[in-house]
Amino acid sequence: MVIRTQKVRLYPNQTMKKVLDDLCDYRRYCWNQGLALWNDLYDASLILEDQKLLPNERKVRNELVANKEDWQYQLSARCLQLTISDLGKAWKNFFDPSLPDWGKPGFKSKKASRQGFKTDRAKIVDGKLRLDKPRGIKTWCDLKFRGAKNLNGDLKTISIYCENGKYWASLPFEVEIDKKDTTGKHTAVDLNIGHFNYTEGEISVLPSKLKKLYERIQLYQRQLARKRVVNGKKATKSKNYAKTRAKLQRDYRKVAVMQNNILHEFTTELVTDFDKIVIEDLDVKRMQMSHVASKGLHRSMLGRFRQVLTYKAVWYGKEIILADKHYPSTQRCSACGYIKTGEDKIGLAGNAKHGTRHHEYICYECGFVGDRDENAVANLLALI
């Protein structure tokens, strides 16, 4: 059994909009109150030097429940419970040495563009999403949604959020997936800026449609920046600013949809056609700190590709082999094993000493001449 999540667009009426907005505000309130109490308990344990006063999820939740105001009883109790549970997980991840990039939990702002909440009491009735019935509402107010496919399985804890005036829901279903048949074939994937190479060819992750969208995004960003420079703080209150920002957000959503489609189609093809897949264990965060190709690396979604491929391989019983970070897949000759060093190395623009281009690989030991990316794929495939 695995968890599959579907993201759907919600179409609430005016009554349910008010309910959803109240729940979003309530989750933010519970998070901030819980975090403040957590910090106070921790400070008290340090001052009194008493380990028994150290905060945990149960203490914070019980304290908030005991001090609930009258207006809080009008909203779902599960919102508070799940919020404090998420707060406990956030603190646990913060102290986990295996997650060095996980930051300290902070307070939520009502000015954030994205507000949301969670509930585990939702269910689908007659093709609509039904939440807890709020106090004061006599009839159920079901939420219409669009974008879901094959809603089968047990519905787990869902996330609902509002972003830029639109409401979305993530519906996780626990389903049973049949493992795909073994094919006896293996492949390797060489990750590059703008395209991925493997034994069957090349997949472009930045097609011409995406490039046009990025150009339009850049135009809207310049327009918004110019308005802020000219009008100052009053710029964000104008109708033209709101229209331009809506166009920018629309294009960002289109980019996200197109890139996710490309990744899911490619990863599904890999786990369907091959039993073993070799990929590079890249330090994407450190690579993006370079100003030379940071934007291209970010748009190529190298980290997202590995994440999607990993969980699909687990689903369908396929094996992922990670090449070491220092494995010279690009510098090594797939014919004789010679590794280029020093001034002979290939960079993003090729090799200046020998005048070779970015896509060319010439071995100065055995005379092998080939495509740089195909040579890297062959080197990765040799690790199986």
Instruction: Give the SS3 label for residue 336.
Output: coil
Which of 164, 169, 98, 87 has its CA nearest to residue 128? Answer: 169
Q: Strands 276-280 and 186-191: what pairing?
A: parallel
Domain finish residue from 118, 140, 175: 175
Does residue 7 lie within any of the structural domains?
Answer: yes
8 Å CB contact between 252 and 217: yes
Residue 249 lies in a domain: yes
Domain stop point among 175, 195, 214: 175
Contact, 15 vs 137, CB < 8 A? yes
Q: What tokens were used for 262?
A: 């490309």
Both 195 and 165 in a single domain? no
Strands 2-11 and 166-175: antiparallel
Question: Count of domains in the chain?
Answer: 2
Per the structure block, which two tokens stand in for 233? 């703080």
Angstrom distance (rounded) from CA 241 to CA 172: 36
pLDDT at 292: 65
Residues 101 and 224 in one domain: no
CB of 172 closer than 8 Å to CB of 5: yes
Q: Give the pair of three-digit tokens for residue 157.
A: 């804890």
Helix 57-66 × helix 14-48 angle, to 10°: 120
Alpha helices, DSSP H, located in the chain = 14-48, 57-66, 77-94, 208-231, 239-273, 284-288, 294-300, 302-316, 372-381
Question: How far apart are alpha carbons 283 and 152 in whole angstroms?
Answer: 37
148 & 21 share domain: yes
> Is 44 in contact with 53 (CB distance < 8 Å)?
yes
Residues 151 and 219 in one domain: no
Burial label for 244, CB within 10 Å (0-12, 13-18, 19+), is middle
**In a domain? residue 217:** yes
Phi, psi of 207 (to 5 degrees): -65, 175
Kindly state whether residue 360 falls inside one of the protein's structural domains.
no
Q: Are residues 199 and 170 in the same domain?
A: no
| 103, part of any domain | yes
Contacts of 100 (CB under 8 A, 6+ apart): none
Q: Which amino acid is at 327?
A: Y
Residue 65: its pLDDT value, please?
Answer: 94
319 in the same domain as 237: yes
Closest by Cα among 322, 325, 301, 323 to 313: 322
Say if residue 190 is in the same domain as residue 140: no
Start-to-end CA span in the chain (Å): 29
HSE-CB of 154 using CA atoms within 13 angstroms: 8
Domain interval for residue 204: 186-323
Domain shared by 213 and 73, yes or no: no
Question: How far is Cα of residue 106 from the mean position of the Cα atoms in its chain?
Answer: 20
Are β-strands 319-323 and 276-280 bridged in parallel, bridged antiparallel, or unpaired?
A: parallel
Contact 337, 323 (CB under 8 A): no
Backbone phi, psi, residue 294, to 5°: -65, -40
307 and 202 within one domain: yes
Q: Is residue 278 part of a domain?
A: yes
pLDDT tens digits for the chain (384 residues)? Answer: 788 888 899 999 888 899 899 999 999 999 999 999 999 999 998 888 888 888 999 999 999 999 999 899 888 889 999 999 999 999 999 999 988 888 999 999 998 889 999 999 888 888 889 888 777 677 767 889 987 777 777 889 999 999 888 899 999 988 887 777 888 899 999 988 888 999 988 999 989 999 999 999 999 999 999 998 888 878 888 889 989 998 998 999 899 989 999 999 999 999 999 999 999 888 777 777 676 677 888 888 888 999 999 999 988 889 999 998 888 888 888 888 888 888 888 877 777 777 788 788 888 888 888 888 888 999 999 888
Q: How far apart are CA 238 and CA 250, in angstroms?
A: 19
Taking the C-alpha atoms of residue 250 and residue 115, their distance in angstroms, rounded to an integer, is 18
Residue 340 falls inside a structural domain = no
Inter-residue contact 87 to 38 (CB < 8 Å): yes
Q: Are residues 168 and 200 in the same domain?
A: no
Given 275, 293, 323, the domain boundary residue is 323
In this prediction, residue 325 carries a pLDDT of 85
Single-letter amino acid, residue 302: L
Q: How many CA atoms lie within 13 A of 254 on its CB side?
A: 14
Question: Residue 3's pLDDT is what?
Answer: 85
Note whether 217 and 299 are same-domain residues.
yes
Which of 343, 350, 208, 198 has its CA nearest to residue 269?
Answer: 198
| Residue recorded with tokens 């110019």 | 226
Q: Helix (H, G, I), strand (E, B), or coil: what is residue 131? A: coil
Residue 136 shares a structural domain with residue 41:
yes
Residue-level pLDDT at 30: 96
- Say if 26 falls within a structural domain: yes
